[in-house]
Structures are given as C-alpha cells and as structure tokens.
C-alpha cells in the first residue's frame, strides 16, 4: 500500500514476476516493440490488407503499472486504444495459450473494447489469478470480457470451437476493427507443451478470423523458441492473407 524508495523494493512494486529482468538494453527493446504495435495501428487506418506487428518482448500480461510474464508494456492494448480513436469500437481476440490478464484489466470497464481470450485454465497454469469464465467485465464494460479456459492438451477441434465462439462474440459486438493477440505457444511442438494445436489448426483459426472481414492488426505475443515456431506463423499469415484479400 506504500511504494518503497529503495531500488529492490521499488522494482517489486512494479513487478509480480521474476520473468521480467531489466538490463541495459531492456527499455530500448520494450519501447521499440510498443512502437511497432503503434505503427501497425497507424498503418491499419489506411491499409487495404491486414497488418502484422512482430513485437518482442510481447505484452498481453502487462498492466498499466505492472510488468509480469515477460511483458512490460501491453502492446496490443496500446494499439487497440489507438484504433478506437479512428474506428470507434475495437475487438481483441487473444489466442495465446496463456490468459491476457493485463489486457483484461485495462479494458475491464471500457464499453468500446471487447476482449476475447482462449487459454489454458488458470487453475492449471500461469497467470493463475485471472482468466476464469465468470470474469465478464464491469460497469460500462459489463459483458465485454469473454474468457474460454480450456484443459491441458486441448486439440484442434476443441480449440477451433472456441475460436468460433469468440468470432460470434465479435460479430455481435460489431466493431470497426480487430486486434489479434497472436500467440503460438498453443502449438503441439511448443516447448511448454500446453495445447496440441497443429499448423492446420492455426491456419483454420486464421480462416475464421479473416472471415470477419474487419481491418485487422495482428500483434505477436507468445511462442517459445522451437524449430516449429516459424511454421506456425507462416500457416497463420498465409491463410489470413489469402482469406482477407
């Protein structure tokens, strides 16, 4: 309840995760990643095709004043806020295998941003303290937070059903633009081995999301280093581009 003035105490005030180290090059990387997302949002205003923002570090766990889960600034949330100025209502669909707790918090009471997340059940994995199905928003944002927690080893068919449910929510919300928090750590060959989503599964998710025919900003989130990571990205981007043209 009272912020410390000593360095280590102040660091803990702004972080609830040991996975957010700070070195000499950390801030330039954080700032550059967020500017990539902001630039993507700016490009989307006049683009005739989807825009992909390859952000590193990712951002969807970050709160307005709290770094956590390898996330320092919430790239997708900052971009979505920018897009509301041009498109009015914006929908975010987060397909990273972990819940977008920071994004959820930021838009919890906002009436102009719908947040949909498909993720591992928080009782089983990080971020643990957010992401349950009964967390639906509050105040002006009541009903605009849609969580779909899923079990370990979720395969393509179950995951695609959840994508369809999120797409249905987006259609009902009728936004002017879409932001996809594009995590690939749900992949079957991801080192974390949480879900079992295949290249075909990611392509099918892209097909469903592209069918919304909305101006779309794709913001890179998770995806741990593995030989399969690039393949997941190619499967999604190629299908999304083909379907959105």
Q: Which of the residues are catalytic? A: 61
The DSSP secondary-structure symbol of 15 reads B
What is the Cα–Cα distance from 34 to 55, expressed in whole angstroms? 7
The DSSP secondary-structure symbol of 183 reads -
Bridge partners, residue 182, by sequence: 220
What is the Cα–Cα distance from 190 to 184, expressed in whole angstroms? 8
What is the Cα–Cα distance from 64 to 216, expressed in whole angstroms? 24
CB count within 10 Å of CB 59 equals 30
What is the Cα–Cα distance from 153 to 167, expressed in whole angstroms? 22
* Residue 45, CA distances (Å) to 21, 38, 171 in order: 35, 11, 20
């Amino acid at each position: 309840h009272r912020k410390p003035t000593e360095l280590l105490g102040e660091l803990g005030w702004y972080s609830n995760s040991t996975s957010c180290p700070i070195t000499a090059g950390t801030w330039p990387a954080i700032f550059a990643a967020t500017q990539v997302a902001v630039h993507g949002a700016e490009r989307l205003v006049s683009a005739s095709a989807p825009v992909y923002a390859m952000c590193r570090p990712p951002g969807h766990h970050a709160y307005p004043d709290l770094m956590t889960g390898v996330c320092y600034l919430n790239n997708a949330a900052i971009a979505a806020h920018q897009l509301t100025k041009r498109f009015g209502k914006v929908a975010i669909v987060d397909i990273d295998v972990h819940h977008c707790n920071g994004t959820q918090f930021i838009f919890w009471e906002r009436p102009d941003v719908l947040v949909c997340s498909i993720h591992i059940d928080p009782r089983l994995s990080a971020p643990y303290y957010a992401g349950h199905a009964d967390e639906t928003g509050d105040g002006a944002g009541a009903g605009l937070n849609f969580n779909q927690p899923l079990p370990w080893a979720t395969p393509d068919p179950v995951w695609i059903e959840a994508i369809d449910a999120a797409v249905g929510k987006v259609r009902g919300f009728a936004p002017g633009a879409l932001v996809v928090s594009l995590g690939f750590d749900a992949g079957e060959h991801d080192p974390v081995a949480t879900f079992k989503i295949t290249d075909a599964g990611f392509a099918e998710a892209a097909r469903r999301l592209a069918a919304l025919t909305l101006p779309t900003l794709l913001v890179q989130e998770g995806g741990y280093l593995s030989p399969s990571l690039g393949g997941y990205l190619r499967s999604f981007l190629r299908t999304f581009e083909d379907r959105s043209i």
